């Protein structure tokens, strides 16, 4: 019990004085996760919207696959990315393994299906409501896609938050492709694992507290947007 008390006290002290080691790990975590979310959003939102309004053979199967990919095991993603980026892999010449870039790639693969699936659902719901009206106005194709995306823009903000929540809490894939190298690829989730195994509970708890606060902040923002966003029934 005493050890636990001292661990919490040390964690509070590290956070209060903005310990440089703690800040470095948190900053890298945010840089990697935000980069993955931006890339996943740019790739996933147009694709999800296109699937929502398009009608083609195999669409139902594609939707099932996208939904299934939302639950991709992080360690499997990490392994697949590792095989591609290793020296014997097809992309080994890029020398990206054990760099933040490799971690961004892995997190992007995990985030993108979430963005695609949720965007498709929101846009498809909006399309059911406004399809007839848009047809009567002659709005089709890319214009229709853009119009629906604007209509559900507040809901799409919650999609981004969901993607960030997935990325920032991920540990398995980034451990495999990043290697948890000090000052290079050590992020909050991998550092917590390492410091706990070393018995350095103060730093592990400090990182855990920061991670929990980030999760609460993201969920709070998503809830606020969904509840108070004007002009949409889909947020």
Q: 1: pLDDT confidence band, cut at 50, 70 and 90?
A: low
At residue 229, the pLDDT reads 61
Distances (CA, A) of 44 to 163, 179, 184, 206: 10, 27, 28, 33
| CATH code of the domain covering residue 107 | 1.10.3720.10
Question: Residue 224: inside a domain, yes or no?
Answer: yes
Question: Residue 78: inside a domain, yes or no?
Answer: yes
Task: Find the mean pLDDT for residues 112-136.
Answer: 89
Q: 8: pLDDT confidence band, cut at 50, 70 and 90?
A: confident
Q: 144: pLDDT confidence band, cut at 50, 70 and 90?
A: confident
- pTM summary value: 0.89
Please tell me the distance from the alpha carbon of residue 50 to that of residue 101, in angstroms, as a whole number.
Answer: 28
Please tell me the distance from the alpha carbon of residue 218 to that of residue 85, in angstroms, as a whole number.
Answer: 31
Residue 230 has pLDDT above 70, yes or no: no
Question: Residue 182: inside a domain, yes or no?
Answer: yes
Question: Residue 52: inside a domain, yes or no?
Answer: yes
Q: What percent of the chain lies above the pLDDT cut of 90?
A: 67
Question: Residue 171: inside a domain, yes or no?
Answer: yes
Mean pLDDT score of the chain: 90
At residue 77, the pLDDT reads 96
Please tell me the distance from the alpha carbon of residue 74 to that of residue 108, in angstroms, as a whole number.
Answer: 11
Residue 86 has pLDDT above 70, yes or no: yes
Task: Find the mean pLDDT for residues 93-100.
Answer: 94
Q: 139: pLDDT confidence band, cut at 50, 70 and 90?
A: confident
Q: 234: pLDDT confidence band, cut at 50, 70 and 90?
A: very low
Question: Residue 11: inside a domain, yes or no?
Answer: no
pLDDT tens per residue across span 65-80: 999 999 999 999 999 9
Question: Residue 10: inside a domain, yes or no?
Answer: no
Please tell me the distance from the alpha carbon of residue 101 to that of residue 48, in angstroms, as a whole number.
Answer: 25
Question: Residue 12: inside a domain, yes or no?
Answer: no
Q: 235: pLDDT confidence band, cut at 50, 70 and 90?
A: very low
Query: Which residues constitute the domain of residue 45?
Result: 18-228
Q: How many domains does the chain have?
A: 1
Reduced to 3 states, what is the DSSP secondary structure of residue 146? helix
């Amino acid at each position: 019990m005493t050890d636990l008390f001292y661990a919490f006290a040390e964690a509070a002290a590290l956070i209060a004085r903005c310990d440089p080691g703690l800040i470095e790990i948190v900053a890298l975590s945010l840089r990697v996760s935000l980069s993955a979310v931006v890339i996943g959003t740019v790739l996933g939102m147009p694709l999800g919207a296109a699937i929502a309004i398009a009608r083609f053979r195999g669409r139902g199967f594609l939707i099932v696959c996208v939904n299934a990919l939302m639950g991709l095991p992080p360690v499997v993603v990490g392994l697949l990315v590792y095989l591609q980026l290793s020296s014997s892999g097809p992309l080994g010449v890029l020398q990206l393994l054990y760099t933040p870039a490799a971690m961004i790639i892995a997190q992007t693969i995990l985030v993108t299906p979430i963005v695609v699936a949720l965007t498709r659902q929101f846009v498809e719901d909006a399309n059911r409501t406004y399809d007839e009206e848009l047809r009567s106005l002659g709005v089709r194709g890319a214009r229709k896609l853009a119009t629906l995306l604007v209509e559900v823009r507040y809901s799409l903000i919650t999609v981004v938050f969901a993607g960030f929540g997935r990325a920032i809490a991920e540990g398995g894939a980034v451990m495999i492709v990043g290697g948890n190298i000090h000052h290079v690829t050590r992020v909050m989730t991998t550092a917590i694992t390492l410091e706990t195994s070393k018995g350095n509970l103060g730093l592990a708890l400090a990182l855990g507290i920061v991670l929990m606060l980030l999760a609460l902040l993201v969920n709070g923002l998503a809830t606020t947007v969904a509840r108070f966003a004007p002009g949409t029934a889909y947020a």
